Amino acid sequence: MDKSFPELRLEQVSFRGVLRDVSLGWAPGHLIGLIGPNGAGKSTLLRIAAGIAHPTSGAVYLRDKLLRDIPPRHRAKEMAYLPQHVPENVMFTVEQYVEMGRFAYRTAWGSLDRESREAVRQALNTLNLSRYRDVRLERLSGGERQRAGIARCIAQGSRIILLDEPISNLDLYYQVDILKRLQLLAHQGYLIVVAIHNLELAARYCDTLVLLHNGQVYAHGSPPEVLTEQALLDVFRVPVKIYTDPHAGYLRVSHLS
């Protein structure tokens, strides 16, 4: 497939005054960072892109098909979605929870095939959760539970992965580890979209950033194109200095207030 062909497309999407006339298109092979202040509409946009909420006007397309016309089981083979909060009070073990990511592949008897069991094993391993496989989700720490959510999405095996603040509860090691893994997956041909508040990590690992402000796209492009001092002042109301770290070579965002 032509990598520049938008796999997932939002066309003039509006939602109850929360999103206004949002048009975006993303191709496989990219890690996209969705940034913006609290209440800007990031979660709403991801829910709409995942087909969990429907736009009040406009449309979402997965390649040439309207997303809302694709049955849930087929959609699950195409895209995975991690909500902002992984449920706490559930009785399932970590393994059972990650297995739910494979629901589209369950046999008519509800069992998992070999490929699914292997996908679950690998995802638990990748997220360093193998030793918790028989522990109930409610017994995990916030960060461990978030990693279980990411494991469930990765186990799903779909080429589009939408993650709402996947690193918000993670320690520094896992923040970097997860972003590196997502970047690698994206560059192997996945389309990955993450809502993220850490602007420096977003700049470092994402190929493209979308800056949302009051439900509209304020800027969309490469990290240096989007992260400008004026844009951050306009959107976050914080004066910042943006510069390239002379030692690391990465963008730094320094608060001036």
Residues of this chain that bind ligand ATP (CB under 6 A): 16, 18, 36, 38-44
Nearer to ligand ATP, 48 or 94 (CB): 48
Instruction: State the residue for tokens 């995975």.
Output: 80
Nearer to ligand ATP, 60 or 124 (CB): 60
In the complex, minimum distance from the CB of residue 25 to ligand ATP, in angstroms, rounded to a whole number: 20
In the complex, minimum distance from the CB of residue 24 to ligand ATP, in angstroms, rounded to a whole number: 15
Nearer to ligand ATP, 93 or 168 (CB): 168
3-state secondary structure of 172: helix
Euclidean distance between CA atoms 233 and 1, whole angstroms: 39
Nearer to ligand ATP, 116 or 175 (CB): 175
Sequence-ordered alpha helix ranges (H) in 138-215: 142-156, 172-187, 199-205
How far is the CA of 79 from the CAs of 96, 118, 125, 216, in angstroms? 20, 19, 21, 24
Dihedral angle computed from the Cα positions of residues 205, 237, 18 and 169, in that order, rounded to the nearest 10 degrees = 40
In the complex, minimum distance from the CB of residue 45 to ligand ATP, in angstroms, rounded to a whole number: 7
In the complex, minimum distance from the CB of residue 2 to ligand ATP, in angstroms, rounded to a whole number: 31
Pairing of strands 8-15, 57-62: antiparallel
